[in-house]
Amino acid sequence: MHSTLEQLQQSMAATPSFDGQVAKLVHLTNANGMTASFMDIGATWLSTTLPINGESREVLLRSPDMAEHMQQGAYFGSIVGRYANRIAAGKFTIADSHYQVGINNGENSLHGGLEGFDKRRWTIVENSPQQAVFMLHSPDGDQGYPGHLDVKVTYTLTDDNTLHIAYEAEADQATPVNLTNHAYFNLAGEGSGATALTHSLQLSAEHYLPTDSGLIPTGEQKPVAGTSFDFTQPKLIGQEFLSEADQETAGGYDHAFIFNSEFTDGKKVAAVLIAPQEDVVMKVMTTKPAVQFYSGNFLFGTQGKSKEYQRYDGVALETQYYPDGPNHPEWGQSSGVLPAGQCYHHSTAYKFEF
C-alpha cells in the first residue's frame, strides 16, 4: 500500500499544477486494507486499491504525473461541473435570461466549459482516516454560468468496501448544476490489459437518450428493449458493441441511461459492473435519475499510469441529471436547473465486492 501512496506523492504532488502550486493529497484506508486517494485539484479521486490475493489491485485509471494530468482531456476521477456532460452550443435560457457558457467540445460545452471544476483547487476542509471533505466557491459568471455557487463534496470509505460520495451545493441565482465524478474503472486492474469490452454491466434502466452527431440528446427517451442498449440483465459490454447507428455515432457507448425511478433512492443497486474474471463486482447506488455510461471511446493516446491508454481501457459510470438538461425544461428536475437558495443534495456510492 505504501508504494501506491509514495508513487502518488511523487507523481502528483512533486510538480506544480494549474495554479503554480503543488497538489495536496488525501489517503483513506478501511479495516480491510482497501484504499482511496484524492487530490485537491479537481477534488479528484486518483486511486483505489483492493487487497486481492495478497496484492493491491489498482482499479482506477489515472495520469502518470501532474504534467500529463494537466494535458489529458479524459477528466480522470475529477469532480466535473458546474454542469456535467454536454450543453448544446453552450447556450441556455433561465427565466427569460440568455446565457452563453464556454465551448470546449466541438460546437458544444462539456463538463463545465474551458475551466471547469476539474481544473480548480478545492479546499480540503476535513480529513480523517476514512473521510475527506472538499469545498469550492464558484463566483457569479464563472465560465458564463449565473450566480455564486458553493459546493461541498464528501468522500467516505466505509468498512464494507464502499466509497460514498455526497454532493451539496447552493446558489444565490437559479443556475444549472449537475455534479458527478468522472472515474474510469478497470476492475481487472489498471495495467491488466483487460478492456471495458470484457467487463459485464447491468443497468436498472429501461430507457436511454439517443444523440445527434455532436452527442447531444435528441430529446427522445427510447426504450432499450430489443436494442444493443439493453443492459437490464448482466451483459458483456463488448457483446453488441458498435452494432447500431446510435453507438456508431459515439464510437461505442457514451449515452445517458435513465434509471427506473425505484432505483434512485441511493440505497437500491442501480448499476453493476463485473470484472472479466468475475473476481470483483462493483455495485452503484445513487439518488441521481440517470447515468452516463461511457466505454472509454476517446481514451486512445492518453498517457496513463502504466502505459499509453487505448480506446476502451476503462469504463465510466457518471451518475447525473440528463445531458443538455437546461434546454429541456420538460424533463422537470432532471433538467438540472437549481433554483436560487435551494439545496442541491445528491449521493452516489460505489461498493466493491471481492
Domains identified in the chain and CATH numbers: 2-181 (2.70.98.10), 192-337 (2.70.98.10)
| pLDDT one-digit tens code per residue, 81-100 | 999 999 999 999 999 999 99
At residue 2 the predicted structure's pLDDT band, cuts being 50, 70 and 90, is low
Measured distance CA(283)–CA(291) in Å, rounded: 13
| pLDDT one-digit tens code per residue, 273-289 | 999 999 999 999 999 99
What does the pLDDT average to over 135-140? Answer: 98
Cell 471533505 locates to 133
| pLDDT one-digit tens code per residue, 298-350 | 999 999 999 999 999 999 999 999 999 999 999 999 999 999 999 999 999 99
Other CB atoms within 10 A of residue 4 CB: 17
85 annotated binding-site participant: yes
183 annotated binding-site participant: yes
| pLDDT one-digit tens code per residue, 154-213 | 999 999 999 999 999 999 999 999 999 999 999 999 999 999 999 999 999 999 999 999
Hey, which bits of 130-217 come out as E strands? 131-138, 149-157, 162-171, 175-176, 180-181, 184-185, 200-203, 205-208
At residue 5 the predicted structure's pLDDT band, cuts being 50, 70 and 90, is confident
pLDDT exceeds cutoff 60 at 9: yes
Where in the sequence numbering do the catalytic residues fall? Answer: 182, 318
Among 7-11, 28-32, 110-114, 300-304, name the one with the lowest average pLDDT.
7-11
86 annotated binding-site participant: yes
At residue 4, the pLDDT reads 82
Say if CB 283 and CB 271 are below 8 A apart. Answer: yes
At residue 141, the pLDDT reads 98
- Mean confidence (pLDDT) of the chain: 97
pLDDT exceeds cutoff 70 at 1: no
What does the pLDDT average to over 235-264? Answer: 97
| pLDDT one-digit tens code per residue, 211-222 | 999 999 999 999
Cell 460546437 locates to 107
Say if CB 78 and CB 181 are below 8 A apart. Answer: yes
Query: Which among 159, 108, 165, 167 has a CA at the least distance from the CA of 136?
Result: 167
182 annotated binding-site participant: yes
pLDDT exceeds cutoff 60 at 237: yes
Could you tell me which residues come within 8 angstroms of residue 227 by beta carbon, excluding any fewer than 6 positions away?
A: 244, 246
* Residue percentage of the chain with pLDDT more than 70: 99
Identify the three-state secondary structure at position 6: helix
